[in-house]
């Protein structure tokens, strides 16, 4: 009887261990499941909000957009053109340095999105880890801005608030986080585009055939409106919070928001399996 009870206990423990292992493997497999990008509107909308939020903070301090690199790139062209002006302007102005810093860092951050090519650009694990990487970059930038002791709002366009080395590091890290966000969103190939460049969204919205059919839901039109409205709201919230708390606290709130977005990716559902037609 004792031997029977002992063997039963061992068998029960084995069954429990097997169930735990199976459950652990199931969780692990779920992380590598590809999501349905069309079901990711929530996190992507949050990305658009963060674009406006963070750009409001960087622009208020430096007149440089961390997420919109078209203007920064054109600004560098103007800087080169000044070399041939009469009289020549041979100075590498601070605002040109900041534009170059943001542009280079943004592209480095965007290149980090290539990691997704090896993990699967639509897998939950990559979307979670990639967004957490954005949060880490933004957190490091927040610390750099805090340690720089710089003001949060520039007094004049020609006098940016972030001027020392620490603030340049902060600007670079913040721009890198936006670059990674943009590349991750672009690789999902949704109607939210990159979540950082909305010029194309405006053009697509203006030529949308159903633009003025306001009494009905039009998916493609409505998504573009949501993207633009989200960025506007983020910019408004960013500046309002910046005025009350300063750049370090405002950026820290952005870090927390990024972490929440990362977690939300774990709950986006995969594509629905297509049902096969009944055989006749």
pLDDT tens sequence across 222-249: 788 888 899 999 999 999 999 999 999 9
Tokens 């194309």: give the residue: 200
pLDDT of residue 221: 77
What pLDDT sits at residue 272? Answer: 78
Comparing C-alpha atoms, which of 198, 190, 225 is closest to residue 210?
225
Residues 31-60 as b/e (b if ≥16 CB within 10 A, e otherwise) read: eeeebebeebbebbbbbbbbbbbbbbbbbb
With a cut of 70, say whether residue 276 has pLDDT above it.
no
What one-character DSSP code corresponds to residue 38? G
Give residue-wise pLDDT tens across range 148-186.
999 999 887 778 899 999 999 999 999 999 999 999 999
Structural domains of the chain sorted by starting position, each given as residue range(s) with its CATH number in brackets: 36-190+231-265 (1.20.1250)
pLDDT greater at residue 186 or residue 10 = 186
Contact between 55 and 195 under an 8 Å Cβ cutoff? The reply is: no
- Of 261 and 207, the one with more pLDDT: 261
Question: What number is the average pLDDT over the span 34-47?
Answer: 89
Q: Does the structure show a pLDDT above 80 at 217?
A: no
CA distances for 129 relative to 116, 146, 187, 224, 262, angstroms: 10, 25, 15, 27, 7
Which residue do the tokens 């943001």 mark? 102
Instruction: Report residue 13's pLDDT band, with 50, 70 and 90 as the boundaries.
Output: low
Checking if the pLDDT of 219 tops 60, the result is yes
pLDDT band with cut points at 50, 70 and 90 for residue 274 = low
Q: Calculate mean pLDDT across residues 144-148.
A: 95
Q: What is the pLDDT of residues 72-123, one digit of tens each?
A: 899 889 888 888 877 777 777 788 899 999 999 999 999 999 999 999 999 9
**pLDDT confidence bin for 251, thresholds 50/70/90:** very high
Indicate if the alpha-carbon torsion angle 109, 115, 119, 120 is positive or negative: positive
Amino acid 279: pLDDT: 44
Helices 69-81, 94-112: axis angle to 10 degrees equals 140
Mean pLDDT of the region 211-231: 80
Question: Look-up: residue for tokens 């674009």?
Answer: 51
CB 52 within 8 A of CB 233: yes
Q: Considering the chain, what is the average pLDDT of its residues?
A: 84
Does the structure show a pLDDT above 50 at 37?
yes
Residue 132 is classified by DSSP as H
The position carrying tokens 């963070």 is: 54
Q: What is the pLDDT of residue 137?
A: 97
């Amino acid at each position: 009887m004792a031997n029977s009870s002992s063997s039963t206990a061992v068998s029960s423990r084995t069954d429990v261990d097997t169930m735990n292992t199976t459950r652990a493997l199931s969780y692990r497999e779920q992380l590598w499941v590809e999501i349905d990008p069309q079901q990711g509107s929530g996190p992507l909308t949050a990305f658009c909000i963060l674009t406006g939020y963070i750009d409001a903070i960087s622009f208020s301090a430096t007149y440089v957009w961390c997420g919109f690199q078209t203007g920064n790139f054109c600004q560098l062209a103007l800087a080169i053109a000044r070399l041939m002006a009469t009289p020549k302007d041979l100075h590498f102005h601070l605002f040109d340095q900041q534009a170059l810093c943001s542009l280079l860092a943004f592209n480095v951050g965007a290149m980090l999105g290539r990691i997704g090519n090896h993990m699967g650009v639509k897998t939950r694990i990559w979307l979670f880890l990639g967004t957490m990487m954005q949060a880490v970059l933004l957190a490091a930038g927040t610390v750099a801005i805090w340690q720089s002791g710089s003001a949060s709002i520039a007094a004049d366009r020609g006098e940016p608030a972030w001027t020392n080395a620490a603030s340049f590091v902060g600007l670079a890290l913040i721009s890198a986080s936006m670059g990674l966000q943009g590349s991750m969103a672009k690789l999902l190939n949704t109607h939210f585009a990159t979540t950082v460049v909305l010029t194309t969204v405006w053009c697509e919205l203006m030529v949308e055939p159903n633009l003025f059919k306001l009494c009905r839901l039009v998916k493609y039109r409505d998504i573009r409106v949501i993207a633009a409205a989200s960025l506007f709201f983020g910019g408004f919230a960013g500046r309002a919070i910046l005025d009350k708390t300063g750049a370090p606290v405002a950026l820290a709130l952005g870090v927390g928001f990024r972490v929440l977005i990362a977690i939300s990716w774990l709950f986006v559902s995969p594509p629905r399996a297509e049902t096969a037609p009944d055989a006749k």
